[in-house]
Amino acid sequence: MASGQAARRARFTTWFGLVWLLLVAGVGVSLSSGPVLAQEEKAAEEAPAEEAPAEEAAPAADAGDAADEPAGPPPKSALKWLLDASGPFGLMIIAGSFLLVGLMITGFMQFRRSVFMPPAFIAEFESKLNNRDLPGAFELAKKEDSILGKLLVGGMSRLNKGYEESAAGIAEVADDENLGLDHKLSYISMIGAVAPMLGLLGTVQGMVGAFLVIASSTTSPKPNELAEGIVLALVTTLEGLIVAIPAIISFGLLKNAQSRLMFDSLSMADNFVQRILGKKAAPAAAAAPAPAAAPAAPPA
């Protein structure tokens, strides 16, 4: 049990380290790209001024050639535009959305009553109990990978120590299984919390880029020059919210399902252990004192 918890902690630490490295890399890219873009834009503005005398001396025939050139860049597809407008933090949010979809599908497939308490296993286990085949029932529970099977193994392994120890064994297994399920759900919760923060980072990056354009321009910047930074700010914020809202909703639904299904599994495992030990379903009735004997009839 302790080794399983250590393995889960190691996996969690590995994932957290990868996410942190991606975040640091995104911050580095955003900070390094700002000055470079500003220098490129400034150089592009100075280049036409230096080439102006040569253009004035060019023959008028070049005007016809210039008219044949395309008026602007070719239109981008929606996917290409989204990738360009997202920036490094937006790409991290998109990558997190794919991970979120996988975790959501896995969670909704796992948090079902038929997975926690398989009907076929329950029927076969009850059949062995009715036939008083306790070794066969124990072996059946050991081979079962469901939550109910693991709880029964934890309780039946302490049957010789009485009901209190069996109930404690069931509770220990339940705590360990709950810890593993909480770790799986924590990734969904983490994505729901981190996605808006990445969107906020993208917003700050876009606004910094827009102000860099203003600061590096010697004249009043054109609206299309400022639009790139503003679009980055708005798109990353939108992406963060689109990912965070389903993550928060899914986490709440799956957490409630976990609590309900674990409670039902605990109740069923406890009932099976009571049946094996011969405990009555209503202990109060069993503990009730026997009725007093009727008084002897008086002598005639």
Whether the predicted model's global pTM rises above the 0.95 cut: no
User: At a CB cut-off of 8 Å and minimum separation 6, what does 281 contact?
Assistant: 274
Question: Each residue of 169-180: pLDDT tens digit?
Answer: 999 999 999 999
Using 50, 70 and 90 to split pLDDT, how confident is the model at 220? confident
- Residue 179, pLDDT score: 92
Question: What is the model's pLDDT at position 170?
Answer: 93
DSSP string, the chain: -HHHHHHHHHHHHHHHHHHHHHHHHHHHHHHHHHHHHHHHHHHHHHHHHHTHHHHHHS-THHHHHHHHS-SSPPPPPHHHHHHHHHHHHHHHHHHHHHHHHHHHHHHHHHSSHHHHS-HHHHHHHHHHHHTT-HHHHHHHHHH--SHHHHHHHHHHTTGGG-HHHHHHHHHHHHHHHHHHHHHHHHHHHHHHHHHHHHHHHHHHHHHHHHHHHHHH-SSPPPHHHHHHHHHHHHHHHHHHHHHHHHHHHHHHHHHHHHHHHHHHHHHHHHHHHHHHHT--S-HHHHHSPPPPPPPPPPP-
* Residue partners of 262: CB distance under 8 A and separation at least 6: 116, 147, 174, 177, 178, 181
Ranges 23-37, 66-80, 158-172, 239-253: which has the least confidence: 23-37
How does pLDDT run across 158-217, given as a tens digit for each residue?
Answer: 988 888 999 999 999 999 999 999 999 999 999 999 999 998 888 888 888 888 888 887
Mean pLDDT of the chain: 75
Band of residue 78 on the pLDDT scale cut at 50, 70, 90: low
Per-residue pLDDT reduced to its tens digit, 117-169: 999 999 999 999 888 888 999 999 999 999 999 999 999 989 888 889 999 99
Across 45-66, average pLDDT: 46
Model confidence pLDDT, tens digit, residues 247-291:
999 999 999 999 999 999 999 999 999 988 886 443 343 344 444
